[in-house]
Chain A
Amino acid sequence: MTDARPSRWNRLVAFWDARETGESMALLRIGAGLTVFATMVLLIYREIPDVIWVDFKDGGYRSLGSGQHLVRRLGGPSPGLTWTLVWTACISSVFVTLGLFGRVSIFVLLVSYLNLHRLNGETSGSSDIVITNALWMLLLTRATVTWSVDCYIKNRRWSSDELITAWPRYLLILQIVLLYGTTGIQKVSAYWLPIGGWSALYYILQQPTWGRFDHSWAAYVFPLTQIGTLVTWLWEAGAPLLLLVLYYRNTADRPGRLRRWFNRWDLRWVWAVIGITMHLMILVFMVVGPFSPITLSLYFCVFRPAEWRAWLGKLGQRLGRGSNAPAVDEDPA
């Protein structure tokens, strides 16, 4: 008698072969597209590319060398090439937001943005890496099958039930966990811990480098900043628990007291509310570029496409437009 159960490898293959509808990735596509568009418009308006992405001999603030990949092949970071890439990124981000030209517009945006931000390591930061990592995953799935102009052109409807591969969404969930988890455990300063009086957030707000305005008010609400420090550190370092939450939700029919306890509430919402609050505070108090909007865009991936469809369908009904959105189904992850 042979064992009918698939091998561990085949179960893994089946897991990464899962299909789902495209709502979560469509929302990420719109979030990422808008984030890059806003970033590029601000750069163009303030003429920042002439400062950071143009060589010193052409008016920039430092020597940039020959650039990477595409820039090197096209002769180095001349003002003409830099501005071509800037406008290409700006225009393609509009196409990505609208969901026009499928993977082509995502590829063009990825290549132009990647080559721009890697021109100058001094001005590139975590937000740029989150943006390009998200664009890679959008490129590797068909992120314009629904809620896009492409979908309307093909089906004469704005939404579609067409299935896409789910693994890019799974990898983006892993990306979120890595991003928060490793930044949390690298917060090794004494100020993040009791020996420094949980005062990290207070002192970060006092740095003129990143503050949007003067934060001397923080001295009068110091205990609140201490609570903020503790919650931020615990929430970030505890990010791997999100994987456990998702695993337990996905295997809710199995036994186990811990699993039952985890599934008593939808802990994804607890996680998301803390994260959204933290990022909104960063947006209000600090100037750190597009880190908050692009990271919040990744949150769309934590919830299943069918859930987004049901929630937005209900919202549509409430707004009086009517919707035939189906109930939440039980697809994996």
Chain B
Amino acid sequence: MSPEQQRPEGFRGWWPHIRTALILFHICAVCLMAFPAPQGALQKSSWDDPSVKNEMHMWAERSRSIGFTWNDVEFRDFLWDASKAILEVRRWVLWPFMPYMNWTGARQSWRMFSAPHRYPVRLFIEVEQDGIWRPVYVGRSDEYTWMRDTFDHHRIRRIIFLHGWKRYDRRWSTFGKWIARHAAEDFPDATRVRIRQWKFRTPSPEELRDGKREIGGKFQRELRFDLQGYR
């Protein structure tokens, strides 16, 4: 017997139909939302990061090998324009579903490890005592472990990862102030704190087997705070 034939009277009879319509709406919303798109990636500063440049170079080179004649910059400009167009279409298509997705929080963001970060950063924190800079925390170090329980938690690792990108400059500075606040408390005889990111290229398997580890490393985004102001 079909649902039509056995349908009870009133709302109870209509409910399975309404529910099916709601489920189909939900399926449309989550499928469209999950559809691959470069949202959050359209930042000129991020495209200047060596990890992204290296990735683009590899793809540009591969496309040239099959007949395209563009150089790396032209390839990058093409990708930029294509990404903008995709995002515009996506915004238009998702518009009716956004209130539902925002209200329920049933978002669909599954860009996980889409690319290895070949130029990651390692967090360095040093305090100045008697005029000498002394490291107190170094990312993943077993020697410099101040506030390690906090910095090694996955949510804080995410902050450190994001703050390695230039577009997070302002937040990086606020994060630095938060570190200074704790350093002032935990190191009463320290005069200053220095917070830096060690940016390096991860070695290839051959380089690592030859004993080379963090290649071409340099410090960036240095922050210094006078701890007197935090006591």
Tell me the residues in window 1-29 of chain A with beta carbons closer than 8 Å to chain B beta carbons: 6-7, 9-14, 16-17
**Inter-chain contact B110/A186, CB cutoff 8 Å:** yes
Q: Known contacts A17-B16, A190-B55; is A123 also within 8 Å of B106 by CB?
A: no
What 1/0 mask marks residues of chain B from 140 to 174 whose CB sits below 8 Å from any chain A CB? Answer: 10000000011011111111111000000001001
Q: Which A residues lie within 8 Å of B67 (CB)?
A: none
Tell me the residues in window 100-141 of chain B with beta carbons closer than 8 Å to chain A beta carbons: 104-118, 120-122, 139-140
**Inter-chain contact B155/A14, CB cutoff 8 Å:** no
Question: Of B20, B27, B62, which is within 8 A of A195 by CB?
Answer: B62
Q: Known contacts A136-B106, A207-B120; is A10 also within 8 Å of B155 by CB?
A: no
**Inter-chain contact A118/B205, CB cutoff 8 Å:** no
Q: Which B residues lie within 8 Å of A218 (CB)?
A: 205
**Inter-chain contact B55/A46, CB cutoff 8 Å:** no
Asked if B44 CB lies within 8 Å of chain A CBs, one says no
CA distance A153 to B181 in the complex (A): 52
**Inter-chain contact B155/A289, CB cutoff 8 Å:** yes
**Inter-chain contact A123/B16, CB cutoff 8 Å:** no
What 1/0 mask marks residues of chain A from 179 to 206 whose CB sits below 8 Å from any chain B CB? Answer: 1101101111111100110011011101
Shortest distance between the CB of A60 and any CB in chain B (Å): 7
Question: Of A14, A187, A214, which is within 8 A of B2 by CB?
Answer: A14
**Inter-chain contact B116/A191, CB cutoff 8 Å:** yes
Asked if A52 CB lies within 8 Å of chain B CBs, one says yes
Q: Name the CB-closest residue of A to B152.
A: A287
Asked if A174 CB lies within 8 Å of chain B CBs, one says yes
Total count of chain A residues near the partner, CB < 8 A: 73
Shortest distance between the CB of A124 and any CB in chain B (Å): 8
Question: Of A118, A213, A214, which is within 8 A of B105 by CB?
Answer: A118
**Inter-chain contact A206/B203, CB cutoff 8 Å:** yes
CA distance A186 to B111 in the complex (A): 6
Question: Of A46, A63, A189, which is within 8 A of B174 by CB?
Answer: A63
Asked if B36 CB lies within 8 Å of chain A CBs, one says yes
CA distance A132 to B107 in the complex (A): 9
Question: Of B23, B106, B157, which is within 8 A of A210 by CB?
Answer: B157
Q: Which A residues lie within 8 Å of B112 (CB)?
A: 126, 183
CA distance A207 to B174 in the complex (A): 24
Question: Of B3, B34, B108, B118, which is within 8 A of A13 by CB?
Answer: B3
**Inter-chain contact B178/A167, CB cutoff 8 Å:** no
What 1/0 mask marks residues of chain B from 188 to 219 whose CB sits below 8 Å from any chain A CB? Answer: 00000000000000111110110001000000
Shortest distance between the CB of A55 and any CB in chain B (Å): 11
Shortest distance between the CB of B4 and any CB in chain A (Å): 5
CA distance A229 to B133 in the complex (A): 42
**Inter-chain contact B116/A203, CB cutoff 8 Å:** yes
Q: Which A residues lie within 8 Å of B26 (CB)?
A: 171
Q: Name the CB-closest residue of A to B24.
A: A12
Q: Which B residues lie within 8 Å of A17 (CB)?
A: 3, 16, 19-20
Q: Which A residues lie within 8 Å of B204 (CB)?
A: 199
Q: Which B residues lie within 8 Å of A141 (CB)?
A: none
**Inter-chain contact B205/A189, CB cutoff 8 Å:** no
Q: Name the CB-closest residue of A to B174.
A: A62
Q: Which B residues lie within 8 Å of A220 (CB)?
A: 209
Q: Known contacts A60-B178, A171-B26, A182-B35; is A13 also within 8 Å of B16 by CB?
A: yes
Asked if B85 CB lies within 8 Å of chain A CBs, one says no
CA distance A189 to B116 in the complex (A): 8
Q: Which B residues lie within 8 Å of A114 (CB)?
A: 105
Asked if B58 CB lies within 8 Å of chain A CBs, one says yes
What 1/0 mask marks residues of chain B from 40 to 63 whose CB sits below 8 Å from any chain A CB? Answer: 000000000000000100110010
**Inter-chain contact A16/B23, CB cutoff 8 Å:** yes
Q: Which A residues lie within 8 Å of B121 (CB)?
A: 209
Question: Of A6, A16, A43, A289, which is within 8 A of B16 by CB?
Answer: A16
Q: Which A residues lie within 8 Å of B178 (CB)?
A: 51, 56, 60-62
**Inter-chain contact A178/B2, CB cutoff 8 Å:** no
CA distance A142 to B178 in the complex (A): 45
What 6 pairs between A and B have smallest CB-CB spacing? A189-B115, A6-B2, A203-B116, A219-B208, A61-B178, A206-B202
Q: List 24 A-B contacts (CB under 8 A).
A: A13-B3, A16-B16, A43-B153, A46-B149, A48-B156, A122-B158, A171-B26, A171-B27, A178-B34, A179-B110, A182-B34, A182-B35, A182-B108, A188-B114, A188-B115, A189-B115, A189-B116, A200-B113, A200-B115, A200-B116, A207-B117, A209-B117, A209-B157, A216-B213
Report which A residues bind B (CB closer than 8 A).
6-7, 9-14, 16-17, 42-43, 46-48, 51-52, 56, 59-63, 114, 118, 122-123, 125-126, 129, 132-133, 136, 167, 171, 174-175, 178-180, 182-183, 185-192, 195-196, 199-200, 202-204, 206-211, 213-214, 216, 218-220, 222, 287-289
Excluding A16-B23, A183-B110, A186-B111, 6 further A-B contacts by CB distance (< 8 Å) are: A48-B155, A123-B158, A126-B110, A187-B115, A200-B113, A216-B213
